[in-house]
């Protein structure tokens, strides 16, 4: 005989089990290559994790990291300190989560996104309240770029 308590526990377990696949879809996996000694790269990874991304990190530095970027279509003038790969797209530098999510929603035929350099106030680079203006660039497959998003100074 099934008690009311067991019936309720079973219903709760079933409802949780049906939401797990949806939660997994909301947690895109991103693999990040970064210098193991870089604090701002680690801060960007923490931002991604806090926003629900499933982040794996691989230590890389110097010419190996630069070669990885160039071999995967990131133009020299778009290079920053760390590089991520998510669902076939490259994410170079301190790209905000909103732009990554937009990229994954829109799925343009592109290499990915980049925030060249290390603009103060971008994710992982200091408080947003003191942000300097910067642009997020879409990197096209032919190596050309266009502004994908702009962030004004705070």
pLDDT digits (tens, 9 = 90+) for 31-80: 999 988 888 889 999 999 999 999 999 999 999 999 999 999 999 999 99
How would you write 21-53 as a 3-class SS string?
A: HHHHHCCCEEEEEECCCCHHHHHHHHHHHHCCC
Asked if residue 13 has pLDDT above 50, the reply is no
What dotted CATH number matches 27-151? 3.40.30
Q: Which residue has the tokens 């210098």?
A: 35
């Amino acid at each position: 005989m099934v008690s009311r308590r067991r019936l309720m526990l079973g219903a709760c377990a079933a409802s949780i089990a049906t939401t797990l696949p949806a939660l997994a879809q909301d947690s895109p996996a991103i693999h990040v290559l970064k210098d193991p000694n870089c604090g701002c790269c680690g801060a960007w990874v923490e931002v991604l994790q806090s926003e629900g991304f499933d982040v794996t990190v691989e230590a890389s530095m110097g010419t190996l990291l630069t070669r990885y970027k160039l071999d995967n279509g990131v133009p020299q003038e778009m290079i920053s300190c760390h590089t991520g790969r998510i669902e076939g797209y490259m994410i170079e530098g301190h790209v905000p989560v909103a732009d990554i999510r937009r990229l994954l929603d829109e799925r343009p035929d592109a290499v990915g996104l980049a925030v060249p350099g290390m603009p103060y106030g971008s994710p992982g680079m200091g408080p947003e309240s003191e942000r300097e203006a910067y642009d997020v660039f879409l990197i096209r497959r032919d190596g050309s770029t266009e502004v994908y998003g702009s962030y004004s100074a705070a």
